Copies of this chain bind each other. A is one copy, B any other.
Amino acid sequence: MNIVEKNLRELNITLPDCPTPVAAYVPAVRVGNFVFASGQTPIAGGNLVYKGKLGQDLGIEEGYEAARLAAIRVIAELKSVVGDLDRIARIVKVTGYVNSAPDFGDQPKVVNGASELFRSVFGEKGDHARIAFGTGALPDNAAVEIDVIAYVED
């Protein structure tokens, strides 16, 4: 019971309050058995912690941490619509948007910060399809943005 919450505790992760979008959208939408979570940036304690472009302003380890932070916020979004996180049957698809210098090519290593978190928190249910790519820019010059499609059991 409450396996996911237990995993979060063991990882010393406290979920933030569900982020309130600053614009005309909502944190997550459930339709049928699918949940679509809005894009999140690496904010903690109300501050955008990782700003800048990978391969120019930030190194891979910082990018990894940025992706992990953004993923924690995505989990808070998922929780806001499913209530009990154990109801999530699968993290289906993760998209990793990496703010990249034009010659940066290690987006996969950066987005692993999100992917490995989902595996740690959700176990095999965290195994997802993925795309990672380099954006030209991101909101407020965030280092990374992450969004997720999840699936809920009936």
A residues contacting B by CB (< 8 A) are 21-29, 31-34, 36-39, 53, 55, 89-90, 92-95, 97-109, 111-112, 115-116, 119, 127-142, 145, 147, 149, 151
Which of A39, A55, A92, A129 has most chain B Cβ within 10 Å? A129
Chain B residue contacts of A137, Cβ below 8 A: 55, 98, 100-105, 107, 133-134, 136
Contact B31 A112 (CB under 8 A): no
Chain B residue contacts of A138, Cβ below 8 A: 105, 107, 133-134
A36 to chain B: closest CB distance in Å? Answer: 4
List 8 A-B residue pairs with CB atoms under 8 Å apart, sorted by A's residue number: A22-B108, A23-B112, A24-B119, A29-B92, A31-B89, A97-B133, A100-B136, A101-B137
